Amino acid sequence: MPIKTEPFYLNIGPQHPSTHGVFRLRVALDGEVVVGVEPIIGYLHRGIEKLAETRTYTQTIPFTDRLDYLSSMTNNLAYCLAVEKLGGLKVPERAEYIRVIFSEIMRISSHMMAVGFFLNDLGAMMTPVLYMWREREKIMDMFEMVCGQRLLYNYMRIGGVSQNLPDDFMPAVKKFLAEMPKYIDEYDQLLAQNEILLARSKGVGILSKDTAIGIGASGPVLRASGVKWDIRKMDPYSIYERFDFEVPTGDTGDCYDRYWVRMLEIRQSVRILEQAIAQIPEKGAVCADVPQFFRPPRGEAYGYLEGPKGNIGFYIVSDGSIAPYRLHIYPPTLINITALSDMVIGWKVADLIIIFGSIDVVLGEIDR
């Protein structure tokens, strides 16, 4: 008869490098094996939904930067899409292209951080991250060029973008796109068939297709489980229907698939960028004529898009005044960790760290 012992409870976080922010995991352990896990969140809750109720529609855009601060551009865009849907606004052609260009650059940047820190969690301390940062630095420079900021851009506006592209932007992005495929090949050469990476992540933390759909997972987490669902293809927003790209999917939904889907998505983003750079109109307005105190008609709208971490959305209720009556932010990473216990139970503590890392969470978005 096996001897039954009490589980040992271990708190990982809120201050711990592997939690990617202020996040606490209360883990029940039997020896070194995880038997239960409970995420405890809210350490970074700033009440953005409440703050938005007392600010104008434009004043809320900077708050959206501070949700998922590694993909501020797409957060800005999702919010603007929701307000535009509510107000029935039309965005100028050139602004649409600029939006797509920055969304895809942002996706590359966010995926690089995700992959870099995933390898960091695996124990490849800082080296892969620094390789990824080498290219991310160029992306940051491009953002700085266009809006003066490197992390929190506040660039998108209701009806377009805040300012036109500077003259030196196009040469910089063309140079970046010419170099990028070589760098991705280099990462794949270093990482894709790396024996340690394969041994640690293949078959670890499997999220089945049914569970992924059931919990409402989105983004690379959903696609790694074999579901071909990308908002850019299934419900195209902005001008995504004009571009030719593929939606990569995984087979098993393990940690390796989540890593690999992100690497493939970086290649697809480069493809979209090349097409957008070739098609963008030379001249034209970059923002529709929107009054400073924009009053959308009464009603409600849900604007959403395929962000780097999943399907981020904003649900807005308008009462016809200058401020939203209710703003709800749909956070993809909070939804993606719903099935964390299914993925980690039975694995060891070291695996828990990489399974959590492979989901790619940002606490600014979970806690809002």
CB 136, min distance to another protein, A: 30
Side by side, the strands of the sheet bearing 299-306 are: 299-306, 311-318, 326-330
Instruction: Please say which residue, 81 or 334, places its beta carbon nearer to another protein.
Output: 334
**Shortest Å, Cβ 300 to another protein:** 8
Q: How far is the CB of 97 from another protein (least distance, A)?
A: 21
Q: Whose CA is closest to 60, among 296, 231, 239, 288?
A: 296
Q: How far is the CB of 51 from another protein (least distance, A)?
A: 10
Please identify, using beta-carbon distances, which residue of 168 and 235 lies nearer to another protein.
235
The set of residues, in sequence order, having a beta carbon less than 8 Å from that of 165 and lying 6+ positions away, is 98, 146
CB of 36 to another protein, least distance (A): 13
Exposed / middle / buried, residue 101 (Cβ in 10 Å: 0-12, 13-18, 19+): buried
**CA neighbours within 13 Å on the CB side: how many for 324?**
29
Q: Indicate the residue among 21 and 128 with the shorter CB distance to another protein.
A: 21
Nearer to another protein, 146 or 207 (CB): 207
Q: Which residue, 47 or 297, has its beta carbon nearer to another protein? A: 47
Query: Which residue, 25, 82, 41, is CA-closest to 324?
Result: 82
Question: Closer CB to another protein, residue 49 or residue 93?
Answer: 49
Smallest distance, another protein to C-beta of residue 171, A:
36
CB closer to another protein out of 269 and 311? 311
CB of residue 311 vs another protein: minimum separation in angstroms? 7
Shortest Å, Cβ 269 to another protein: 22
244 three-state secondary structure? coil
| Interface residues toward another protein, by CB under 8 A | 41-42, 45, 47, 49-50, 211, 213-216, 227, 229, 234-236, 302, 304, 311, 313, 315, 317, 325-326, 328, 330, 334-335, 338-339, 367-368
What does the alpha-carbon distance between residue 162 and residue 223 come to, in Å, rounded to a whole number? 33
Bridge partners (DSSP) of residue 237 are: none
Q: How many CB atoms lie within 10 A of CB 247?
A: 17
- The DSSP line for 154-186 is --EETTEESSPPPTTHHHHHHHHHHHHHHHHHH
For residue 193, which phi and psi values (nearest 5 degrees)?
A: -105, 15
Residue (85 or 107) nearer to another protein, CB? 85
If residue 27 lies in a helix (H) or strand (E), which one and from where to where?
strand 24-30
Neighbours of 158 (CB within 10 A): 25
